[in-house]
Amino acid sequence: MCGIIGILGKAAAAPLLLDGLKRLEYRGYDSAGIATLVNGHIDRRRAEGKLANLDTLLQRDPLSGNTGIGHTRWATHGRPTERNAHPHATSRVAVVHNGIIENFQELREELEGLGHKFETETDTEIVAHLLTRYLDEQKTPEEAVAAALPRLHGAFSLAIIFAGRDGLMIGARRGSPLAIGYGDGEMYLGSDALALAPLTKRICYLQEDDWAVITADGAAIYNNGQAVTREIKQTALSGALIGKGNHRHFMMKEICEQPAVIGDTLQVFLNPLARTFELPNLPFDFAAVPKVTILGCGTAYLAGMVAKYWFEQVARLPVEIDVASEFRYRAAPMLEGGVTVVISQSGETADTLAALRYAREQGQHIVSVLNAPESTMARESDVVLPTMAGPEIGVASTKAFTTQLTVLACVVVAAARARGAIDHAREAELSTALLEVPARVAEVLNHDATIRDIALQVAEARDVLFLGRGTSYPIALEGALKLKEISYIHAEGYAAGEMKHGPIALIDEAVPVIVAAPSDELFDKTASNLQEVIARGGRVIFLSDADGLRKLGDKTFAAIELPKVDPFVAPILYAIPVQLLAYHTAVAKGTDVDQPRNLAKSVTVE
Ligand code: F6R
């Protein structure tokens, strides 16, 4: 899930490549590099760590040349050092790569046997050497690429430039996304249209196993030995760089945007006057759907977990849910007429995409809940239900999660109506509850200062537990995930009732236990679990409403009062304090909130 960009330009490529990489840094920030053709020779600048280091290097030691490629890396093979940074090059060719070449070891041994010397621990370097071997055999660049691609196993998108061939760039994709941008006498390659948006709005997405020979005049695209044509589309993505506003971090900005973006998302699916829910034309009738399968990764999966409770309780529809990275290994038989709901912020997550394709092969209707309407998943779905979160830059997902929940809530109510599981009166009640969510979320955000104080204590902990029941259980898991990924504190989410089956052994005064418990029909049971924690000296941080706090607030170490709402929408609200807690804990610990170590925003490798 690295970011790649290529430019065949009329002016110096390096500044444009660097700018494009800024827009791709969400894909990885272990190292970055640029290669250009300078008087026909390949020249490179590479730097370990964030893009800012490459920027500094380029200011000290600029790179000329109008033809170039750039890369921002999320390390798979080889540590994140300068030596392992892309572009990888020989004297004849330079390559940037996103994905994994699975058979690199055997190709490397073959080429070492032919005298090739490798400098890095990466899988990508093999591509540069394989192409060099074919060029040494007098093949043209086009012939060399045509010969090399079938020998590569795994997933890749590639951008390649060739010494002595100014004005030529070759791109290829299998498994990982790659887009061609058409400029005015200039051509571009990019991992996504977002990277190219300031340069051009005319974008062509390569399809599986396409490769393209790009010159200033345009692109010739090939697939399976045949020349093919691919549609050039106008992208709607904005070329503007997104700022942090008055906030110190993107994550905080995105947390604060939630009232607005949840409102924007509701507008798409909810008619506030009729108080009815409207989905786009579906190629199936929910009344006839035997089962829904929900797939996603990480936070997106947890949104799906909330939706499982909703679908079953409100729409009386059987649901199966799995993490996308495991689902297809089960070879799950899927019911005819079933609907698969995939959830993804980026629309590019390799595991989710593979699971989507498996479900498609099994004859499922594919409905996707996506924040990237121009993504690969969008193109491969029957119906796209957009989250209106806008670009999410912080690596830890916040507003994407709550807008995913918002979309899923609307789908569930629409499905419930279609199945006759609820009447219009209940539909209207749920619509009112949802329409109030933006205002209630804004109220929760007012607890920011209190949560910041609590976070100072949490920052001291080595382990943290999150507990919840029903739809609060996925929120507990989400709280633990958020805290782990940005503060690096070990955290676990548990179904509150499971605690006595094992994790209660962990409880002592050093372990903060965050309990999410709206005063719904499950409250009394969660309250008993909370008492069990308190009895063992555990420090409970209690998230509940006024009724819940009245019953238990004085027994807890700290308490946050959330608004009393219809239990159906509670998980959307309870997501906010766990986000704020993770954020302030990370700030207190001084970690890199927006770009936590080892992570990337878009995970395009399996
Ligand atoms: C956690 C987080 C990740 C993503 C996961 C799926 O804060 O952001 O767990 O939710 O990598 O990504 P998408 O939604 O792009 O498929």
DSSP annotation string for 4-39: EEEEE-SS-HHHHHHHHHHHHGGG--SEEEEEEEET
The rounded Å distance from CA 355 to ligand 1 centre is 15
CB-side exposure of 588: number of CA atoms within 13 Å? 19
The rounded Å distance from CA 180 to ligand 1 centre is 26
| Cα-Cα-Cα-Cα dihedral sign, residues 147, 150, 151, 155 | positive
| 385-416 burial code (b ≥16 CB/10 A, e <16) | bbbbbbbbbbbbbbbbbbbbbbbbbbbbbbbb
- Judge if 185 and 209 occupy the same domain: yes
Closest atom of ligand 1 relative to the 602 alpha carbon: 15
- Tell me 330's DSSP state: G
- Judge if 251 and 137 occupy the same domain: no
Alpha-carbon distance values, 517 to 467, 556, 572 (Å) = 9, 13, 13
- Judge if 280 and 331 occupy the same domain: yes
Q: Of the residues 349, 404, 595, which should be mutated to test ligand 1's pocket, given the most ligand atoms within 8 Å of the CB? A: 349
601 is catalytic: yes
Of the candidates 151, 404, 449, 194, the residue with the CA atom closest to the CA atom of residue 295: 404
In the block, tokens 């092969």 appear at 361
Domain final residue, candidates 415, 433, 451: 433
258 alpha-carbon distance from chain centroid: 18
Of the candidates 300, 299, 295, the residue with the CA atom closest to the CA atom of residue 320: 295
Q: Given this model, what pLDDT does residue 590 score? A: 96
For 294, the token pair is 């929900």
- Judge if 473 and 429 occupy the same domain: no
- Judge if 413 and 275 occupy the same domain: yes
Q: Given this model, what pLDDT does residue 605 score? A: 65
Please provide the DSSP assignment of 421-443 as one string: SS-HHHHHHHHHHHHTHHHHHHH
Alpha-carbon distance values, 468 to 97, 131, 543, 588 (Å) = 42, 55, 10, 25
For 328, the token pair is 């297809």
- Judge if 494 and 576 occupy the same domain: yes
d(CA 312, CA 603): 30
The rounded Å distance from CA 298 to ligand 1 centre is 5
- Judge if 442 and 404 occupy the same domain: no
- Judge if 48 and 130 occupy the same domain: yes
CB-side exposure of 345: number of CA atoms within 13 Å? 29
Q: Given this model, what pLDDT does residue 377 score? A: 95
- Judge if 269 and 222 occupy the same domain: no
d(CA 107, CA 129): 9
Q: Given this model, what pLDDT does residue 321 score? A: 97
Domain final residue, candidates 212, 243, 274: 243
- Judge if 196 and 321 occupy the same domain: no
Helices (H), ranges, 315-447 = 324-327, 350-361, 376-379, 399-418, 424-435, 437-445
Please provide the DSSP assignment of 117-184 as one string: ----S-STHHHHHHHHHHHHTT--HHHHHHHHGGG--EEEEEEEEETT-TT-EEEEEEBS--EEEE-S
Greatest distance between any 2 Cα atoms in the chain: 81
3-state secondary structure of 199: coil
Closest atom of ligand 1 relative to the 395 alpha carbon: 8
- Judge if 482 and 582 occupy the same domain: yes
Cβ–Cβ < 8 Å for 69, 9? no
d(CA 89, CA 242): 33
The amino acid present at 317, given as its one-letter code, is L
Q: In which domain, by residue range, is 467 found?
A: 436-606
204 is catalytic: no
Sorted by sequence, the CB contacts under 8 Å of residue 3 that are 6+ apart come out as 21, 24, 25, 26, 27, 28, 71, 72, 98, 191, 195
Closest atom of ligand 1 relative to the 401 alpha carbon: 10
d(CA 575, CA 451): 13
What percent of the chain is helix, strand and coil (3-state, nearest 5)? 40, 25, 35
The amino acid present at 192, given as its one-letter code, is D
Cβ–Cβ < 8 Å for 379, 205? yes
CB-side exposure of 380: number of CA atoms within 13 Å? 23
| 465-499 burial code (b ≥16 CB/10 A, e <16) | bbbbbbbbbbbbbbbbbbbbbbbbbebbbbbbeeb
Residue nearest to ligand 1 atom 9, measured at CA: 298
d(CA 332, CA 516): 33
d(CA 88, CA 104): 14
The rounded Å distance from CA 46 to ligand 1 centre is 28
* Protein residues whose CB sits closer than 6 Å to any atom of ligand 1: 297-300, 344-346, 349, 352, 396-397, 481, 485, 602-603
Mean pLDDT, 10 residues at a time, the chain of 606 residues:
91 94 82 96 95 95 96 84 93 94 94 94 94 97 97 94 96 92 95 86 93 95 95 80 83 95 95 91 95 98 98 98 94 94 94 96 97 91 96 93 98 97 96 95 95 97 96 98 97 93 89 95 90 90 96 89 97 98 98 85 69
The amino acid present at 579, given as its one-letter code, is Q
- Judge if 400 and 415 occupy the same domain: yes
Angle between helices 399-418 and 570-589 (to 10 degrees): 170
Cβ–Cβ < 8 Å for 416, 313? no
305 CB burial (10 A radius; 0-12, 13-18, 19+): buried
Cβ–Cβ < 8 Å for 551, 532? no
3-state secondary structure of 525: helix
CATH number for position 116: 3.60.20.10
In the block, tokens 């000296």 appear at 537
CATH number for position 344: 3.40.50.10490
Domain final residue, candidates 402, 433, 464: 433
Of the candidates 40, 97, 54, 106, the residue with the CA atom closest to the CA atom of residue 73: 97
The domain total for the chain is 3
pTM tops 0.75, yes or no: yes
The rounded Å distance from CA 299 to ligand 1 centre is 5
Q: Of the residues 297, 341, 370, which should be mutated to test ligand 1's pocket, given the most ligand atoms within 8 Å of the CB? A: 297
